[in-house]
Chains A and B, each alone.
Chain A
Amino acid sequence: DSGVTQTPKHLITATGQRVTLRCSPRSGDLSVYWYQQSLDQGLQFLIQYYNGEERAKGNILERFSAQQFPDLHSELNLSSLELGDSALYFCASSVEEGRPSTDTQYFGPGTRLTVL
């Protein structure tokens, strides 16, 4: 158990809908990262927040947005869902923002999103 929690574990929805995924980082961690992993694909970095502020953006679609709240939990909002958005969505957390170099990301169990 990494200490990172994600809800829900599974989500089934229809095309065109909107969903919200939630992540609580490990106690003491200030950074939250969101990743997408499609079936048999690598991890795709979406976005990072550090202490409430957006720190880095990866290949995140305009239909997707995220935020980190004052209590440091984070939410990833996915809207106008398409079949291709079906994937595992992981949240990871780390103490710092990538510095020092030893700053290690610990992953939550993921949310499996199925768009029908």
Chain B
Amino acid sequence: AQKITQTQPGMFVQEKEAVTLDCTYDTSDQSYGLFWYKQPSSGEMIFLIYQGSYDEQNATEGRYSLNFQKARKSANLVISASQLGDSAMYFCAMRGLAGGTSYGKLTFGQGTILTVHP
């Protein structure tokens, strides 16, 4: 079974500052993928960034980077130069190999609400 834990129900950051959203995971799979999604108040789910368990480099996508520490089973999202539009709920999620009874299944954390102050 897979489990994702996001321990920060809410985070506040000043505009233009960087912020780290925490995510830890638990799985017995050797191969897995880690994802971050953003859910603004309008409700849609927006994919931000992905990290494969065998990727040696931390993933980056524009202002988003994923601080992947495999031994500690953590996959924290770093948002640099925060903008007002970054205010949203952020979900960490993971999945295992395609195939079998967990085909494609994403397991989500509880989410972290990020508020960016001007």
A binds B: no
Instruction: Enumerate chain B interface residues (CB-CB to A < 8 A).
Output: none
Instruction: Enumerate chain A interface residues (CB-CB to B < 8 A).
Output: none
